[in-house]
């Protein structure tokens, strides 16, 4: 999504998975992407994500991966803090599904920290 925004694309395509769809739903709720749709391209399911621009700059300027395959990072409720003084978003995989940091804190649930967006 970051690369698509830098290239001024209106939408980007990803191979479909339930996890990617849940992450896209979370980003849509927080206002980082425009729309999400599942399509079939060349007999493969893909996820189309519409990007948002503010003042000709992409809304998603930077993405920082936290948890990786080699090192999983888990945050408890007390470890969840704002990203970039509230101008960013933390995305967590929790027992209640994929949630933003603010929603996870409100629901009093921790989980695996996936990435930060700002």
pLDDT digits (tens, 9 = 90+) for 15-66: 999 999 999 999 999 999 999 999 999 999 999 999 999 998 999 999 999 9
Q: Quick one: 67 and 50 in the same domain?
A: no
Identify whether residues 78 and 110 lie together within a single domain.
Answer: yes
Q: What is the pLDDT of residue 86?
A: 87
How many residues are recorded in the chain? Answer: 118
CA–CA dist 2, 37 (Å, integer): 18
**Which residue in 52, 43, 55 sits closest to 16, CA to CA?**
43
73 plus 52 within the same structural domain: no
Residue 67's nearest CA partner among 53, 55, 79 is 79
Taking all residues of the chain, what is their mean pLDDT, rounded to a whole number? 94
Do 88 and 97 meet the contact criterion of CB atoms below 8 Å apart?
A: no
- How many distinct structural domains can be found in the chain? 2
CATH number at residue 87: 3.30.1490.10
Choose among 71, 94, 105: nearest CA to 23: 94
pLDDT at 1 over 90: no
**pLDDT at 30 (0 to 100):** 94
Contact (Cβ atoms closer than 8 angstroms) between residue 117 and residue 32 = yes
Residue 44 pairs in a beta bridge with: 41
Burial letters for 100-113: b for 16+ Cβ neighbours within 10 Å, e otherwise?
Answer: bbebbbeeebbbeb
List the CATH number of the domain containing 24: 3.30.1370.30
pLDDT at residue 74 in the model: 97
For residue 90, the enclosing domain spans 62-118
């Amino acid at each position: 999504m970051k690369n698509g925004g830098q290239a001024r694309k209106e939408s980007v395509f990803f191979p479909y998975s339930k996890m990617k769809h849940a992450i896209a739903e979370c980003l849509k709720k927080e206002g980082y992407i425009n729309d999400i749709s599942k399509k079939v391209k060349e007999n493969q399911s893909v996820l189309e994500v519409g990007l948002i621009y503010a003042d000709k700059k992409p809304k998603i300027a930077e993405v920082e991966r936290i948890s990786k395959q080699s090192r999983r990072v888990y945050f408890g409720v007390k470890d969840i803090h704002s990203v970039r003084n509230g101008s960013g978003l933390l995305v967590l995989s929790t027992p209640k599904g994929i949630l933003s940091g603010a929603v996870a804190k409100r629901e009093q649930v921790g989980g695996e920290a996936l990435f930060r967006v700002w």
